[in-house]
């Protein structure tokens, strides 16, 4: 069964837009769990424009499901934050300063030595590691050499092309997933997955362990309500 991890960055964005604590990020995370989500994802950035570093500590204290912290491990503050909280999983994403959202995976060949050190650092602390990669066979093979436990397929290209030609859109992801399975790498996915494209993706990607969904899910919740929306996403997965 593919697990649903809800990215709550957008809840933090809404809270921060007015100051104070409305909506209450911790309460939303606990409600997401109560409504069926099997994990909570946060992606703190240096400017703290959505998730604040303190949020991570507050969430770690109460989350009962899988806690996944995403971010750029080239930021020392991110490394320190992850090691201090010891989430179930850290997802390494090659963001740059000021980037609005993630838009590419790691070059696991050029960055292989560096990533190997980072993977080892987090694994030694008892944290499962996932590396954000594009659906390219060479990048999947390069990820194996870093020692990572999992990869997360960056699905923006799939989502963008889905309504034009879903078979072509998913083809590189199927190939990448098969290679990951062959190499013994766990498989996650995320970015722009939604109620339109999620079911087809999950049905065609072998051994998909987890998807992380934030923007689309929170947007849908404005219309359908949070509890109902989480159930709708779970239905697409299983």
Residues annotated in a binding site for 3-amino-2-oxopropyl phosphate? 7, 18, 192, 214-215
Q: Which residues pair with 131 in a beta bridge?
A: 92, 151
Distance CA(107)–CA(110), nearest Å, equals: 6
Buried b (16+ CB within 10 A) or exposed e, 125-139: eebbbbbbbbbbeeb
* Tokens of residue 174, six digits: 């199927």
Q: Active site includes 152?
A: no
Annotated active-site residue in 66, 70, 152, 210: 70
Annotated active-site residue in 33, 66, 152, 191: 191
Helix (H) or strand (E) holding 216: helix 215-224
Q: φ and ψ at 219, to 5 degrees? A: -65, -45
211 within 8 A of 189, measured Cβ to Cβ: yes
Q: Active site includes 227?
A: no
Q: What DSSP line would sit under 35-102, residue for residue? A: TT-SEEEE---TT-SSS-HHHHHHHHTT--SEEEEEE-TTSHHHHHHHHHH--SEEEE----TT-SS-
Sign of the dihedral defined by the CA atoms of residues 174, 177, 179, 182, in that order: negative
Residues tagged in the binding site annotation: 7, 18, 45, 50, 101, 192, 214-215
Residues tagged in the binding site annotation for 1-deoxy-D-xylulose 5-phosphate: 45, 50, 101
Annotated active-site residue in 43, 66, 152, 210: 43
Q: Active site includes 138?
A: no
56 within 8 A of 69, measured Cβ to Cβ: yes
Q: φ and ψ at 210, to 5 degrees? A: -160, 145
Catalytic residues: 43, 70, 191
């Amino acid at each position: 069964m593919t697990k649903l991890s809800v990215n709550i960055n957008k809840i933090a964005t809404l809270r921060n837009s007015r100051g104070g604590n409305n909506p209450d990020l911790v309460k939303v995370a606990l409600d997401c769990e109560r409504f069926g989500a099997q994990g909570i994802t946060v992606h703190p950035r240096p400017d703290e424009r959505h998730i604040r570093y303190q949020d991570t500590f507050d969430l770690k204290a109460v989350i009962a499901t899988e806690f996944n912290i995403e971010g750029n491990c080239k930021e020392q503050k991110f490394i320190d934050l992850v090691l201090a909280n010891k989430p179930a999983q850290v997802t390494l994403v090659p963001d740059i300063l000021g980037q609005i959202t993630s838009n590419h995976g790691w070059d696991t060949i050029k960055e292989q030595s560096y990533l190997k050190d980072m993977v080892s650092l987090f694994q030694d602390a008892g944290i499962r590691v996932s590396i954000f990669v594009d659906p390219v066979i060479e990048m999947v093979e390069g990820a194996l050499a870093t020692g990572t436990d999992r990869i997360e397929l960056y699905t923006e290209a799939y989502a963008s092309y889905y309504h034009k030609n879903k078979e072509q859109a998913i083809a590189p992801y199927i190939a990448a997933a098969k290679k990951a399975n062959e190499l013994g790498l766990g498989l996650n996915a995320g970015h722009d997955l939604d109620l339109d494209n999620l079911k087809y993706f999950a049905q065609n990607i072998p051994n998909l362990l987890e998807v992380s969904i934030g923007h689309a899910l929170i947007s849908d919740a404005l219309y359908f309500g949070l509890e109902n929306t989480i159930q709708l996403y779970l239905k697409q997965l299983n």
